Structure formats: structure tokens, C-alpha cells
Structure 1
Amino acid sequence: MKLYHCRDARSLRALWALEELGVDYELVNMAFPPRSTYPGYLTINPLGTVPTLTDGATTLTESTGICHYLAETHGPTPLRVDPSEADYGAYINWLFRSDATLTFPQTIVLRYSRLEPRERRLPQAVEDYSVWYLSRLRSVEAALEDGRSYLCADRFTMADIAVHYALYLGRSLELDARYKPNCLRYLDALTERPAFQRAMARQAEPI
């Protein structure tokens, strides 16, 4: 397997998942945006986005899809919730919610607060989409009530990797000052996992 990755991008979900699984893989660290900084990347992934995971003849480009794929194909692993388990529906819902509901508004915040030239930045859009994202975190805050450490199935799963990344990205956007206590506790606790720390070390390797 080969993972194409940019530091702290959504590909971090896949990198962390690979480290949790302990499978063999090759990491290609790239500068952002890879479509213009990594020669030939558009041939590998015509969208020009990250991540890209290749596994034999299979190519995937969606970060939560990669987490789901890895759990299904490189187990058995407790990171996967089986359809026979009571929390299977919650597990799938969290995987989809992590990107479609949580990470999406952050991309607007990131673009119009940092990536665009100063004359094109939109402070009102940044604030509006920040509030949108933070309001969606109510579901995470509620899921972690009563001291719960994980989102579903009473254990750490791919759903936690997927959702935690949104919280991690929010911290890089300085939105964590408005996080509620459960989200802050969850964010800090999972960053201490050895596999997360290994992923941090791998993405710090020279490009």
C-alpha cells in the first residue's frame, strides 16, 4: 500500500488508521497543494486532492472511505464495528458525519481566513462557517457525556479517527477556544495514543 499525504491534511485520518492497524505501507509526504507541487500527481489522482491510497489495483481518494476500507480489508480489528453489533448504525453515521457535516464548513474557514490572498478573504464567511461547524459539534459533545471516551461501541474505532481529525483541524484554525469540555477532553486524550504520535512523526519526515 502507498499513501500520498500532506501534513495535517485530511489524509492524516488515513495515516493514523494505518498506524493503528500496524500494516506495512509506503508514505509519500508532499507539499500542499500536491497538484502543483508533486509532479505527476494528477495522473495518480485527477482531482488533485489528498489523500490518495493505492492498494494493488485499488485507488481511494476519500479520507473516511479509506478508514472504512482499511477496517474492512485489513482486519480483523477492533477498529471495525460489525453489522451484527448494536452500534453499527452509529458507527457508519459518525464516519459520514465526520466529513460531510464537520470537516466541510472548516474548509470554508480555512480557505477564506488563510489560503486566499488578503484582498479575497471573507471575515463574515469565516465567522458564519465557524458557527456552523461549532453548532454541529453538539452531537459530539452529547455522545461523550457521562465521561465516555469514545463515540460508539464502547471502544476506539475508525469513527473516532474520522471525527477526531475534525476537532484537530479546528484547533489549527483556533476554533478550539469555543469547544465544550467533552470535546476538549476527547481531543486531548486521543492525541496521546501511540499510533497518533507515530503518525505525527511520520508526517514530519522530510518531503
Structure 2
Amino acid sequence: MNDSLILYTNPMSRGRIARWMLEEIGAPYRTEIVEFGPTMKAPEYLAINPMGKVPAIRHGETVVTECAAICAYLADAFPDADLAPPLAERGAYYRWLFFAAGPLEAAITDRDLGMEPNITQQGRVGYGSIEAVLETLEIAVSAHEYIVGPHFSAADVYLGSHIGWGLQFGSLESCPAFVDYWARVSDREAYRRANSLDNEAMHRHG
């Protein structure tokens, strides 16, 4: 395996998103499983991610954390994989990557924790209301085959993972638009490989 590209992950985490993205780019990489608890908060790992969270990647001397950033970075670092639109056409690509990283994740997390903002508080949170977020998302995934048009991109890896998990764990209401979009984006060899690798790691470290 290539020590110039390393994935720090845990199979029971958002690291599955980074794994899928790595399988999409097709470059060799090494995996370091980081256990929850003391290992993830130990000085050795905090030197990589001071938040003590996974995933993170190291590419040569470059360290990237945060799943959306990892997806965007890998798409740019490995352009032959064709997972990002040309720079002049990236408006929707950036929009939906960061919509998922910001409004979507925040709104779902707040609701799951019982912290939905009331009418007067909605103006102070970036997503406004979860109803607005989900309506926007439903329209967006219905507009094209993939989130930015007819071509699969890193934005589909990231946004699609959120929708897939939401449907699986019940944090996202099932509707035909979400189900159909997830079926399209997950029907990829790279996703199946990534899922298999993480499931194997989960059994080994479970």
C-alpha cells in the first residue's frame, strides 16, 4: 500500500464517507483504524486532528479533516477520477457539498437532540427550519440524475451518504425522491467496495 495516502478512520463513523471517496478515486492508500475512546483522544492522534475525531487523511505532508473537505480535496488531488466539475462550473457542486455539511447535518442533528429552533430562533440558525432544509433537498435531488447534473461527483458521495444514513437509521423521512436518489448514487462499484472493507474492519475490531 502507498504510505503517501493514509486514511484514519473507524468503520462505525463518518469515516465511511472518506472510504467511499477514496475507492472512487482509485489511488492506493493505507488504512489506520482509530479506536473510540482514549486512542482517539491520545496525543498521537490529536497531532493529526486536534478535535479527536475521525476521519482524517494524510496525503504526503498534507492533513485534511472534515468529510466534505476530504471529498473536495481528493477530487482535486486526483483529477483523473473526474469527480469534480471544471472550475468555471462548480457553483452547484460547492453549494450542495456545503449545504450537506452545514444546513442538512445541523438541522437533523438538532432535531435528533430535541433542539429544534422556534419561529423567533429560526432567523439565528443557518438552516432556518428543518422543513425548509428537507423541502430544498427533495427538490434538489429530483432535478437531475445526480446532484449537479448528469455526472456523478464528490458532492454525490457526501450528500448521498447523509441521505443513505438518514434513510437507514430513520433520521430522514423516507420519500420517493430520497429513496430514488440514494439508489442511483449507491449503485457503484466503489461504494460496494468501500462498504465491504468497512464491514470487514467492523467485524475485526468489533
- Cα distance in 2 for partners of 1:188, 1:99 equals 21
The equivalent residue for 1:161 is 157
With over 3 angstroms needed to count, the CA separation of the structure-2 counterparts of 1:168 and 1:37, relative to structure 1, is farther
With over 3 angstroms needed to count, the CA separation of the structure-2 counterparts of 1:44 and 1:84, relative to structure 1, is closer
The equivalent residue for 2:115 is 125
Structure 1: which 5+ residue stretches go unaligned? 113-123
Match of 2:133 among 129, 136, 153: 136
Structure 2: which 5+ residue stretches go unaligned? 119-127
| Structure 1 residue 166 displacement after superposition | 1.2
Please provide the CA RMSD for this pair: 2.6
Q: SS state of the match for residue 45, structure 1? A: coil
Q: Contact (CA 8 Å) 1:11, 1:50: kept in 2 or not?
A: yes
1:185 aligns with 2:180: yes
Match of 1:203 among 195, 198, 203: 198
Which residue type is aligned with residue 195 of structure 1?
A
- TM-score when scaled to structure 1? 0.79
Q: Contact (CA 8 Å) 1:34, 1:48: kept in 2 or not?
A: no
- Cα distance in 1 for partners of 2:37, 2:110 equals 16
Deviates more, 1:52-61 or 1:25-34: 25-34
- TM-score when scaled to structure 2? 0.79
The equivalent residue for 1:51 is 55
Which residue type is aligned with residue 156 of structure 2?
D
Which residue type is aligned with residue 140 of structure 2?
A
Residue pairs, 1:98-109, within 5 angstroms:
98-108=100-110
1:9 aligns with 2:6: no
- Cα distance in 2 for partners of 1:80, 1:159 equals 8
With over 3 angstroms needed to count, the CA separation of the structure-2 counterparts of 1:145 and 1:153, relative to structure 1, is closer
Q: Contact (CA 8 Å) 2:167, 2:174: kept in 1 or not?
A: no
| Structure 1 residue 179 displacement after superposition | 2.7
Which residue type is aligned with residue 154 of structure 1?
P
- Cα distance in 2 for partners of 1:138, 1:28 equals 38
With over 3 angstroms needed to count, the CA separation of the structure-2 counterparts of 1:168 and 1:8, relative to structure 1, is farther
- Cα distance in 1 for partners of 2:31, 2:65 equals 15
Aligned residues: 189
With over 3 angstroms needed to count, the CA separation of the structure-2 counterparts of 1:141 and 1:101, relative to structure 1, is same
- Cα distance in 2 for partners of 1:37, 1:25 equals 23
